[in-house]
Amino acid sequence: MAASPKRAGPSSPRSSKPRATSPTSAPRPLSPQERGSPVEAVSKLDVEAVRADFPILRRMIGDKPLAYLDSAATSQRPVQVTEAMRRFTEHSNANISRSVHTLGAEATEAYEGARAKVADFIGARSADEVVFTKNSTEAINLVAYAFQNASVKPGADPRFVLRPGDEVVVTEMEHHANLIPWQQLCERTGAKLRWIGITDVGRLDLEQVDEVINEHTKVVSFVHVANLLGTVNPTSQIVARAREVGALVGLDSSQAVPHIPVDVTELGVDFIAFTGHKMLGPTGIGALWAKAELLDAMPPFQTGGSMIETVSMERTTFAKAPAKFEAGTPPIAEAVGLAAAVDYLDKLGMENVRAHEKELAGYMLRRLETVDGLTVIGPRVPIGRGATVSFDLADVHPHDVGQVLDADGIAVRVGHHCAKPTCVRFGVTATTRASGYVYTTTDEIDRLVAALEKVRKVFA
């Protein structure tokens, strides 16, 4: 299929992203973030042109072409990403910082250039507000550690001090990466963990916000886009309430940054976490963005080389952020790959990505409705949700579903998706999850539905 010049492909001009200067089951008005842009009714992605950049999509599974519907777990990588990493490895591979030779200078420039690109992509005011981590999990743990450290250190910044009677707020739809670190923090400090519940239709129960977030709340950390339900959470009401009570507020944006436009200034939060391998980049690299003043106040999460200012046998002083949070040799080639992924998404245009996925979500939901015995877990309309759809097929275990689908070349995720409390909320132990991305087609969704009909016959 020939690529249409009117549709955005990977070689299209970079879309402009305006910078901001300031930071349910019951019917309710949807936020702009949930509704999406009014210009996104029709996707402008040329999906066939995009797919040409992903060699793995030409793979056969047995005698079936691969239909990759597991991008919420890990996305595939375009040749632009793998080539950028190969070029770095073959021509500029060296350690960063303190090198006077050419390769070291090139490696340092590539690494810090990647930081700048990531910062620009999320609307950060400065590249120094971006800390590279190995993934979202490490980024969230880094923030939780700041609270733990401050709570036992005399004279620590009071914003990070937790005492018995203080409260930490999450939601019932968190990935374990944004739940367990806060559970552990509360156990160690005597603080109380509270959460905002989920409605029967897979949305946050916003009627609970004013009660759950109160004068005892010190930090609110909640999921931006839910990895099991696909829900795009409205942020403004929760952020505003956190500000009213003086709490710090952050987002697990692992499933948001790859799929919708994200501007940290516009969101008005204090920190976000996200990861490279879900946004067309490599594994082993993620990022924490936090306001500069908070990074300055936070202690290092790990210590060792590359993050010091001075060292003697008696004491050590630390470098300024972001260096003080990046102990040891960092994932340099992976940062180069992440920068290439950012370039790729920038050229596609994140509004185009969002529009394409909104169409995918609507199509997937409509097609899944035709499968007898199938129940969608999460919002059943393509408003305020992404193209990640979890479902239960009556009387068939998700692992059996996944195996039959794999025999047809269709890759989905099965299990609890590191969101066991969400599963408990909806009375299931596991689900089958299909998730699309920039390279996903409606034909692949049709194949999914046809294969699910086969599953029903096999286990009838």
Rounded distance between C-alpha atoms, residue 354 and residue 257, angstroms: 11
Per-residue CA distances from 247 to 279, 299, 302, 356 (Å):
30, 19, 25, 36
Rounded distance between C-alpha atoms, residue 46 and residue 6, angstroms: 9
Rounded distance between C-alpha atoms, residue 385 and residue 378, angstroms: 9
List the one residue out of 131, 80, 88 whose CA is nearest residue 347.
Answer: 80
Sequence-ordered alpha helix ranges (H) in 228-300 = 236-244, 264-267, 292-297
Rounded distance between C-alpha atoms, residue 255 and residue 4, angstroms: 29
Active-site option among 418, 441, 449, 459: 418
What type of residue sits at position 434? Answer: A
> Position of tokens 């160690």?
188
CA angle 305, 309, 312 (to 5 degrees): 80
At residue 230, what are phi and psi to the nearest 5 degrees?
Answer: 80, 0
**Catalytic site includes residue 418:** yes
Give the bridge partners for 376, in sequence order: 391
Q: Using DSSP, state whether 13 is helix, strand or coil.
A: coil
How many Cβ atoms sit within 10 Å of the Cβ of residue 32? Answer: 10
Rounded distance between C-alpha atoms, residue 393 and residue 391, angstroms: 7
Which tokens hold the place of 423?
């599963």
Which tokens hold the place of 452?
């699910």
Q: Using DSSP, state whether 447 is helix, strand or coil.
A: helix
Which tokens hold the place of 409?
């070349």
List the one residue out of 122, 18, 8 whose CA is nearest residue 355.
Answer: 8
Q: Are 349 and 12 in contact (CB under 8 A)?
A: yes
Radius of gyration of the CA atoms of the chain, in A: 22
Rounded distance between C-alpha atoms, residue 121 and residue 202, angstroms: 29
- Angle between helical axes of 442-458 and 398-407 (0-180°, round to 10): 120
| Cβ neighbours of residue 79 closer than 8 Å, sequence gap 6 or more | 53, 54, 55
Give the active site residues. Answer: 418
